[in-house]
Structure 1
Amino acid sequence: MQPSEQAAAAPNLGVLDRELCDCRACPRLVAWREEVGRVKRKSFADETYWARPIPGFGPADARLLIVGLAPAAHGGNRTGRMFTGDRSGDILVEALHALGLANQPTSVAADDGLELRGVRFTAPVHCAPPDNKPTPGERDTCRPWLVRELELMRPSVRAMVVLGAFGWQALFPAIAAAGCWHVPKPRPAFGHGTRVELGAADGGAGLAIHGCYHVSQQNTFTGRLTPQMLRDVIGAAASEAGL
C-alpha cells in the first residue's frame, strides 16, 4: 500500500503512527536511514539505531502542533522519537519545559520519561534525509501522513509553530488537502514571528500558525535563534491554543 492509502485508512493517531513506522515508499530515504543505522556515529557505536520512519510524538488531543522538517540522522533516526537525541531536541524541549509544556528540560532517549503537555511534534517528512534535504518528490510522497494527522487532530488543535521555511512551505498543501481550514491565496511567506490566522472550512474553530526559525545548530549556535526568541514564539502560540 502507498502512504495515501495507509494514512487515509487510519481511524486514530495510534494506528496512524504504527502504520507510518513501516513505510518504505521512498527508496532513497529507506537506503539512507538504514545505512546510517549500520554505519553509526562513533559516539553511538554500541547503540541499536531505530532507522525507520519517525511518527509524531505527543498527546492525541494536543492543542498545539509543532512542525519541524525531518528527523536527524543521529537524533530521531537513532532514538526513534522526534526531536530526541540531539542538541536541537534539547533546545526545543528546554523551551517547552520553561513554558510549562513539558515535564523535563531534555530529550535524550525514547524511554527517558518525557511528557509533552498539550503539545505534539510532527514533520512533513518522517525519514532522515541525506544532508537534511528531502527532495520535493519525497516531501509530496510523505504528505498523506501529515494530512491524516491534521484531520484526526481537528477537534483539538488550535495553533501551530512551524520551524523553518521547509516545514512552512510543506504545511500549507497538507492543510489544503485536509480541508479543515481555508488556505489564503497567495500562500503567506515564511518569516520568524510571522502569524497567519486560518478560518475554518468546516464550521469549526480557526487555526493560528506561527513561523519560527528552525532549532538547528546553524541557527542556535550563531544566535540567529536565541532561547528567548524560541520561547516567545511558542509562548504566543500556546496562549492562543489555550495552554
Structure 2
Amino acid sequence: MNQDLVELGDSITRCRACPRLVAWREQAAREKRPAYRDEQYWARPVPGFGPDDASIAIVGLAPAAHGSNRTGRMFTGDRSGDFLFEALHAVGLASQAEATHLGDGLELYRTRMAAPVRCAPPENKPTPQERDNCRHWLAREFELLRPTLRAVVVLGAFGWQALLPVLAEAGWQAPRPRPRFGHGAEVVLPATDEGADLVLLGCFHPSPHNTQTRRLTQEMVREVLRRAISRA
C-alpha cells in the first residue's frame, strides 16, 4: 500500500474548507432518509477508492448525500453506483456487481475512483469555488498515481471540466483549445516529461435521470470501459 495515498486519504477526510458543504453533509447525516435511520452516516469528505497502482481512473462529480456521504466510499449505496458497478463487474474491473457498504467484500481491479469534489453538495451542484477548493486533493492523487495511470474515464461534463487543469498540475499537457466533453469523446494528453501519455475518455454520468431515460445504457458504459482497458 502506498503510504502517501493512505495519508492523502486521511487528510481528505478531515477537510472542512467549504462551510456550505460541511453544513449540508452533516445535515444529511442528522436528518437521514427513513430507510437509513438506524445507520451511522460517514458525513465526511470521501477519499479515493481502489488500488494504488491503478492503470485506469474513474472520475465522477461528488458524493451523494445519502450514498457515499452515508457509506464513506465512492459510488457506494446509491442508484448511480449500482449502475456503474454492474458495468465494472461485467468488464472485469470489479469483484462484484453490488456496492452497498464498507466491508462488503468489493474490490476494484486496475481501477481507482476519485471525484473533483469530495463532499456531498446540495442538489448535487457544487459551486466553482468549492470545486477549486477541492482541486489540490485530486491533483495530488493523480500525481501519486502517475507512474501506472494510463487512462481516465470521466463521468459527466462537470468532472471533465474540473479534471483538465488537475491533469496539467499532475504532469500531463492539456490540449488548447480545451477538448469538449461528450459521451465517447477521447483525447490523448501528452506527458510533460518522459512519463507515459494519458488517454481521457468521456462517459455520461450514470445518474438516475440518464439511466432511466436511457440516455445512458449498460452497453454504452461498458463500451467506454472496454476502451479504457484496451488503452491502459
What's 1:126 paired with?
118
TM-score by length of 1: 0.94
Letter of the 2:192 counterpart? A
Counterpart for residue 23 of structure 2: 31
Could you tell me which residue of structure 1 aligns to residue 46 of structure 2? 54
- Matched residue of 2:63: which SS? coil
TM-score, normalising length: structure 2: 0.98
Cross-structure match for 1:161: 153
Letter matched to residue 103 of structure 1: S
2:183 corresponds in structure 1 to 192
CA distance in 2, matches of 1:184, 1:207: 12
The residue type paired with residue 97 of structure 2 is: P
Q: Counterpart amino acid of 2:146?
A: R
Match of 2:223 among 197, 210, 232: 232
Consecutive unaligned residues of structure 1, counting only runs of 5 or more, are 1-9
Aligned counterparts of 1:200 and 1:208: Cα–Cα separation in 2: 11
Letter in 2 for 1:132: N
Measured in 2, the distance between the counterparts of 1:144 and 1:34 equals 23
Q: Which residue of 1 aligns with 2:94?
A: 102
Post-superposition Cα deviations, 1:105-164, rounded to whole Å, max 9, x if no partner, equal: 110111101000000000000000000000000000000000000110010100000000
The one-letter code sitting in structure 1 at the alignment partner of 2:154 is V
Aligned-partner Cα distance in 2 for 1:202–1:53: 32
Task: Number of aligned residue pairs: give it.
Answer: 231
In 2, distance between residues paired with 1:90 and 1:137? 30
Q: Where does residue 215 of structure 1 map in the other structure?
A: 206
For residues 181 and 23 of structure 1, the distance between their equivalents in structure 2, rounded to whole angstroms, comes to: 27
Report how far residue 177 of structure 1 moved. 1.8
- Separation in 2, partners of 1:237, 1:129: 29
Partners of 1:100 and 1:11 in 2: how far apart? 27
Aligned residue for 2:228, secondary structure, equals helix
Structure 2 residue ranges without an equivalent (≥5): none
SS at match of 1:72: coil
Q: Name the CA distance, whole Å, in 2 between partners of 1:202 and 1:90.
A: 38
Aligned pair partner of 2:12 in 20, 24, 27 = 20
SS in 1 for 2:200: strand
C-alpha distance in 2 between matches for 1:149 and 1:195: 22
Letter in 2 for 1:220: T
> Which amino acid in 1 is paired with 2:142?
L
Partner of 1:3 in structure 2?
none
Shift of 1:103: 0.7
Q: Tell me what 1:7 maps to.
A: none
SS at structure 2 position matched to 1:12: helix
Q: What SS does the aligned partner of 2:70 have?
A: helix
Shift of 1:12: 1.3
Following superposition, the deviation at residue 71 of structure 1 comes to 0.3
| Percent pairwise identity | 62
Instruction: State the 1:11 CA deviation.
Output: 6.5
Aligned to 1:5: none
| Equivalent position SS for 2:195 | coil
Look up the match of 2:163.
171
Q: Given the superposition, is the C-alpha separation of residues 227 and 152 from structure 1 closer, same or farther in structure 2, using an over 3 Å criterion?
A: same
Deviation above 2 Å: which 4+ runs of structure 1?
none
